[in-house]
Amino acid sequence: MSGDKVTKALLFLSSLTILLLSAGIVLSLTGGAIPAFREYGFSFITSTVWNPTSGSEEYGALPFIAGTVITSLLALLLCIPMAFSTSLFIAEYFRGTRTAGILRSLVDMLAGIPSIVYGFWGFYALRPLLISTGLTDQGFGIFTASLVLAIMIVPYATSLSTEIIAMVPSELKEAAYSLGATRREVIFRVIIPSARSGIVASFILALGRALGETMAVTMLIGNANIIPKGLFSPGNTMASVIANQFGEADGLKLSALIAIGLLLFAITALVNAAGKFIIRRFA
């Protein structure tokens, strides 16, 4: 009997590491961010100046927050039609067929490609393509980064919404068909309304992925510490500025980068929590 207690205690102790890790992450990030917030207060979030020159050091996170939000939302926008047609292809039009299975594995493969490979491919294959369209002469910037991000998050948006669409009761669909509805009408009037919250949740979770993506974005966004002025303007995201500048940082700059990390942590945690909440509540 006491042996059982030892086992249970061991299991309990290992679960404690999650608690310690989570607390440690929040505490360390907050502790590291304090000097930056003490120096600049709330204006750290609203200032657009990022000047690491010693003597006239000044750090504001707004350009990176803007860059992160803009690239992620644009990526989500580009991802929605892709994920949407893929889910309907797998869970409705070609449901249960071999074609659907193959498509599903291919989409899963997209999730398996490392971020740095996406970045490299975007740089050497996609960028020249964009330049040849004449829309941009450098090929770097918000749009390029968002396009690659969109491809990267498609599997995350697809897998959940496919499941939800497949779970729509066939009685509902059959009722609509028996009234003479076409498949398109069934999709828009029956399937989407009843799977709506699940689909929304899957897009929110995909957004959470996009927010924290680092390498591919760093290699494609152009790394300019400004608020992006247009679709093809260069910029920087919270993750990419950390990746670019952490190595040579110390003192106040290091603290400013950790503070950006803390903000990124908070944003992604909130977005993920919102997605999970919607799933639990409605789906």
Partner 1 sequence: MDNLLIDNIRRRNRTNTRLKYIIIAGAVITVVPIFLIVGNLALKGYRQINLAFFTEPAPDTFQAMMAASSGEVIPGGIANGLTGSLLMVIIASLVSIPLGLMTGVYLYENGTKRYASFIRSLTEILQGVPSIILGIIAYLWVVRNITRGYSALAGSTALTIMMLPLIIRSTEETMKMIPVTIREAAFALGTPYYKMIIKVLIPVSFSGLATGVLLALSRILGETAPLMLTALGSPSVSLDVTRPVSAVPLLIWDFYNDPNMVNLVWSASLFLMVFVLSMNLLSRSIASKHKYI
With 0-12 CB in 10 A as exposed, 13-18 as middle and 19+ as buried, what is 198? buried
Stretch that binds partner 1, among 24-32, 57-65, 137-145, 195-203 (CB under 8 A): 24-32
Q: Tell me how far, at minimum, the Cβ of 85 lies from partner 1, in Å.
A: 3
Single out the residue of 168, 159, 171, 160 nearest to residue 193, CA to CA. 168
Nearest to partner 1 of 230, 283 (CB atom): 283
50 φ, ψ (degrees, to nearest 5): -130, 95
Considering only residues 205-234, where is the footprint of partner 1 by CB under 8 A? Answer: 208, 211-215, 218-219
Look-up of token digits 């102790």 = 13
Question: In the complex, what is the shortest distance from the CB of residue 92 to partner 1, in angstroms, rounded to a whole number?
Answer: 8
Residues 129 to 188 in contact with partner 1, rule: CB under 8 A: 151, 154, 158, 182-185, 187
Cβ distance to partner 1 smaller for residue 8 or 229: 8
Which positions from 74 through 133 interact with partner 1, judged by CB under 8 A?
81-86, 88-90, 93, 103, 105-121, 123-125
What are the E-state strand segments in the chain? 50-51, 58-59
- From the list 208, 201, 212, the residue with the least C-alpha distance to 275 is 201
Residue 55 or residue 124: which is nearer to partner 1 going by CB? 124
Query: Which of 8, 38, 189, 229 contacts partner 1 by CB under 8 A?
Result: 8
> How many whole angstroms separate alpha carbon 225 and alpha carbon 245?
11
Residue 105, phi then psi, degrees to nearest 5: -65, -40
Cα separation of 263 and 240, whole Å? Answer: 14
Do 63 and 235 contact (CB within 8 A), yes or no? Answer: yes
CB 200 to partner 1: min, Å: 17
Complex with partner 1: residue 114 or 230, whichever CB lies closer: 114
Applying the rule CB under 8 A, the residues between 263 and 282 that interact with partner 1 are: 264-265, 268-269, 272-273, 276
CB nearer to partner 1: give 154 or 200. 154
Residue 261, token pair as written in the block: 């990390």
For residues 121 and 263, what is the distance between their CA atoms, to the nearest angstrom? Answer: 29
Check: CB of residue 204 under 8 Å from CB of residue 70: no
Measured from the CB of residue 83, what is the shortest distance to partner 1 in angstroms?
Answer: 8
Could you tell me how many residues of this chain bind partner 1 (CB under 8 A)? 82
Stretch touching partner 1 by CB under 8 A, among 42-50, 136-144, 167-175, 238-246: 238-246
Q: Given candidates 142, 164, 199, 239, which one binds partner 1 under the rule CB under 8 A?
A: 239
Residue 113 main-chain phi, psi, to 5 deg: -75, 130
